[in-house]
Amino acid sequence: MESLLPIILLAVGFVALILGANWLVNGASSVGIRAKLSPLIIGLTIVAFGTSLPEMIVNIFSCAKGSPGLAIGNIIGSNTMNILLILGVSSMIWPIDVSRVSIRRDIPVGFVATLAITLMANYFFTKEACTINWIEGIALLLMGFAYLLLTMLKNNPQEEVEDLQAAMPWGKTILAIVAGIVGLYVGGELVSRNAQILAKNWGMSESTIGLTVVATATSLPELITSIVAALKKNSGIAIGNVLGSNILNIFMVLGVSALITPLPFDPMMNKQLMILFAANVLMFLFVFIGKGRKIARWEGALLTLGYVGFMWFSLAMQ
């Protein structure tokens, strides 16, 4: 019974995070449409950053409150879910057509981002064993800004003309952005506080809670966004959301988190990092298997089964 109230408050926090992210994404997307950004760019930057905000807010609150163990687990779990479950489910709804620019730029950058945190977490660059420190955090942020700059410079408003929402009036746009920020703040406070309580009550490590419960919940905005995009047969948003979110999760979210406090890394989580690497490889291979640059429905089913295996393995390792 002592865990009932934290579970309820955790659920309320997740709802606030999802609503806040949705409002903020709608407002930011409206600004992007007015700026004549292409659907792929909106997915890779505005939507991806907006759907990464739950991870960002949870990590910031957790680090500020002395629970940095949640941070890396949250990102590894979220990125794995993005590829295996979210991309898998989206592909089963509608085969995902992957653009040439995503193959040449975004998928390789995702590999580089995953390799970067693997080396940093295993003291490849510094002698601080199993910790991502503020120097490495700055390096991650610089790589993130370089990626965003490269993405924006390659923007083509005429490419992939797909069904996007119409730009909202400025008043509604500003209201959506403000409401989104408030929702994210309230949700982040509730999630970080109660996840820490549940980890203690259940005898689980903070990294495992972050890898499973928190990562699954903070990835719900990405799941909803990509499913809606797939239902609308909007491949640009669906794949751009997943790839962009994974890149920004590592470069921006972990970068900011490491500036707040050094992020401890449990060496046991190297197995989950290897699964994340495998997920990236599988996604890349599926693009070239079959006709065209598509992730087919049967490939989406395999990715989804892979996520079930990932969750079973992560909980069994606890």
Tokens 């990562």 locate to: 215
Tally of domains within the chain: 1
Neighbours of 224 (CB within 10 A): 16
pLDDT over threshold 80, residue 203: no
Tens-place pLDDT, residues 234-272: 777 778 778 888 998 999 999 999 999 988 888 888 888
Write down the pLDDT at residue 307. Answer: 93
Tens-place pLDDT, residues 158-167: 444 444 556 7
Q: Is 282 left (phi over 0), alpha (psi -120 to 50) or beta?
A: alpha
Summarize the confidence of residues 3-14 as an average pLDDT.
85
- Residue 110: domain span: 4-316
Decide: helix, strand or coil at residue 96.
strand
Write down the pLDDT at residue 162. Answer: 46
How much is the pTM? 0.80
Tens-place pLDDT, residues 43-76: 666 766 776 778 888 888 888 877 787 888 889 9
Task: Give the pLDDT band (50/70/90) at residue 294.
Answer: confident
Could you give the CA distance from residue 14 to residue 290 in angstroms, rounded to a whole number? 38
What type of residue is 6?
P
Tokens 């910031």 locate to: 60
**CA 91 to chain centroid:** 18
pLDDT over threshold 60, residue 187: yes
Cβ-defined contacts of 194-200 (< 8 Å, 24+): 194/6, 194/7, 194/9, 194/10, 194/13, 195/10, 195/58, 195/62, 195/67, 195/70, 196/62, 196/65, 196/67, 196/70, 197/3, 197/6, 198/3, 198/6, 198/7, 198/10
Decide: helix, strand or coil at residue 128.
coil
Could you give the CA distance from residue 279 to residue 116 in angstroms, rounded to a whole number? 16
pLDDT over threshold 80, residue 122: yes
**CB-count exposure of residue 181 (10 Å: 0-12, 13-18, 19+):** middle
Summarize the confidence of residues 130-136 as an average pLDDT.
87
Neighbours of 272 (CB within 10 A): 23
What mean pLDDT is reported for the chain? Answer: 82
Number of separate helices (H) and strands (E) present in the chain: 16, 4
CATH code of the domain in which 24 resides: 1.20.1420.30
